A and B are shown apart, each in its own frame.
Chain A
């Protein structure tokens, strides 16, 4: 791929703006809370877009396009089933506890609700996950720019890391959130034309559908039996595994996204953040998945376009970039590449800002040095930002040496996030849940996920204890692993709770349903209230599913 001067100019212009935003926000940073939590001062439209942009890393953009090419429109379940219901749930039911408790992070909520050891367990696993996630994002960016632009791996990694470091170091969470909004618009405006051009070239939706097997253009019709669709998943696995456990585990408990809503300037704004974010989230499949499907149709039209081969099969990961080369002239190609760079940086900055908050408040302040002046924690937050980026760079190089590190990371996510949702569900909605039970349940759930992985095999992965069951795909294996992990955590937490002494009700006010006053909505217009917004989101999601059944 050869870029023109205008393409490089657009890339440089974007870098100048993200750094400029960091420099402008810097003036507002006076305390550790300004730096790490934005001091709960960000308007709702910004937190809403940042809520989904933090999740919109390049692995998401390129990965969803690749999945669209491989699995077809069923991939949209990751949005309409695997995100929207959970976003409604956190906005309506969970945010009053997160925001109302005045906790500065998700692990800190666990401290208030349960105890220090549950907080430490969650903080430590989350810190490790964010560093690895950020590093792998950096690794993917390095590989991509090495392939596309001929830059060396080190040049690509260091350039992107340096830019993210500068703007997060200068402006902290506010700078990261503001840049995520900029990056969101760039991603939408940079990739939407690709979807329109590719579908138009394939003969519109009807023409595209006529060139592909019917399973590629439907969401639910072929989910009755796991053998009928390329994902190898049936309705129960999809709804319970993805739609309930994995989705709620991520969107409702992962501090990376919850932090954006907690930065909002009021309780009402915090609750509306995931609900407003659900609208653009619903539309994202048309921007990132449909081009992948169109790529498969175009490759059958004799236009000279085909996906590259890899290991004897198609290299689906290159669907997005090969389409950009075919449909974007110099100029727009620069915008597309900048959008790709923006998605990498948004994912990386999201992880770094979540890491520095959790490390500073939940590990350092709790276990290393309590009661220090605030300027000390501000300094620790800034040093942690530098360390987080440095660790991410190290992880990027580690990922370069091991070809299965991404699989390992995905597994760790399944192990950690799925049981965590059971802990939160019981903790927020059953006052009898105890700290010992939460801690034991989390460990038991994670162990259950590991055992399931050790006893089952999918695409040659797992079965390290013995293979008692074969799944048709790793996706099906992940869904069922999450279901087992959640169920074991739920049952163990309930059982241990009944055998241990709960906290006094006075200690649980503001933290548990039934002991917390409903947030006041007096004087709020109907469209600013969570319930009507949630109803509109649910109806819109149902309509989308029905149309593309």
Chain B
């Protein structure tokens, strides 16, 4: 495996995408769209990891 950042980036991009796809779910003690916020953060993190991996391989 050439770069660990690639599978990490892919995993968090998929996780982020999954969470963003169910933004309406709510938990008992909060009204915040937790899935949306964390999903976006994971998408961003996954993107950064993939970007770093691609920059290295370029």
Mark A residues whose CB is within 8 Å of B.
Answer: 6, 9-10, 13-14, 17, 20-21, 24-25, 27-28, 46, 178, 181-182, 185, 189, 193, 197, 201, 298, 303-305, 325-333, 335
Contacts A6-B22, A24-B1 given: A329-B27 contact, CB under 8 Å? yes
> In the assembled complex, how far is the CB of residue A107 from the closest CB belonging to chain B, in whole angstroms?
29
B8 sits at the interface (CB 8 A): yes
Q: Which chain B positions have C-beta within 8 A of A332?
A: 19, 25, 27, 34-35, 38
Q: Nearest Cβ distance between residue B35 and chain A, in whole angstroms?
A: 4
Q: Do the beta carbons of B35 and A185 come within 8 Å of each other?
A: no
Total interface residues on B, CB under 8 Å, equals 26
Is the CB–CB distance between A326 and B35 below 8 Å? Answer: no
Contacting residues, chain A, for B11 (C-beta < 8 A): 13-14, 17, 182
- The minimal Cβ–Cβ distance linking B43 to chain A, given in whole angstroms, is 11
A331 touches B22 (CB 8 A): yes
Main SS class of interface, B: helix
CB of B18 closer than 8 Å to a CB of A: yes
- Taking a contact as CB atoms under 8 Å apart, the answer to whether A189 and B45 are in contact is yes
For B28, the chain A residues whose CB sits under 8 A away are 304, 325-326
In the complex, chain A residues whose CB is within 8 Å of the CB of B4: 21, 46, 178, 181-182
Chain B's nearest CB lies how many Å from the CB of A321? 13
**1/0 contact trace for B5-48 toward A, CB 8 Å?**
00110011011001100100111111010110111011001000
Do A329 and B35 touch across chains, with their CB atoms under 8 A apart?
Answer: yes
A-B contacts, 14 listed (Cβ < 8 Å): A13-B15, A13-B18, A17-B11, A24-B7, A182-B4, A182-B7, A185-B45, A189-B12, A197-B34, A201-B30, A327-B34, A329-B27, A331-B39, A332-B34
Main secondary structure of the interface of A (DSSP, over half): helix
Judging by beta carbons under 8 Å apart, are A328 and B27 in contact?
Answer: yes
Nearest chain B CB to A305 CB, angstrom units: 6
Q: Is the CB of A201 within 8 A of B29?
A: yes
| Complex CA distance for A305 and B28, rounded to whole angstroms | 10
Other than A13-B14, A189-B41, A197-B30, give 16 A-B pairs with Cβ distance below 8 A: A10-B18, A14-B11, A21-B4, A21-B7, A25-B1, A27-B1, A46-B4, A181-B4, A181-B8, A182-B4, A185-B8, A189-B45, A329-B25, A331-B18, A331-B35, A332-B27
Question: Which residues of chain B are near A331, meaning CB under 8 Å?
Answer: 18-19, 22, 25, 35, 39
CA distance A332 to B7 in the complex (A): 20
Nearest 6 A/B pairs, CB to CB: A329-B25, A24-B1, A326-B29, A331-B35, A329-B27, A331-B22
Query: How far is it, in angstroms, between the C-alpha of A332 and the C-alpha of B19 when the chains are bound?
Result: 7
Choose one: A20, A27, A329, A333; the contact of B7 (CB below 8 Å): A20
* Complex Cα gap A328–B37 (Å): 12
Q: What CA separation (Å) do A325 and B29 show in the bound complex? A: 9
Q: Which residue of A lies closest to B37 (CB)?
A: A193
Supposing A9-B18, A13-B14, A46-B4 touch, asked if A327 and B26 sit within 8 A by C-beta, the answer is no
**Cβ–Cβ < 8 Å partners of B19 in chain A:** 331-332, 335
A485 CA to B15 CA, complexed, in Å: 48
- Return the chain B residue nearest A174 by Cβ: B1
| Cα A427 to Cα B2 with chains together (Å) | 40
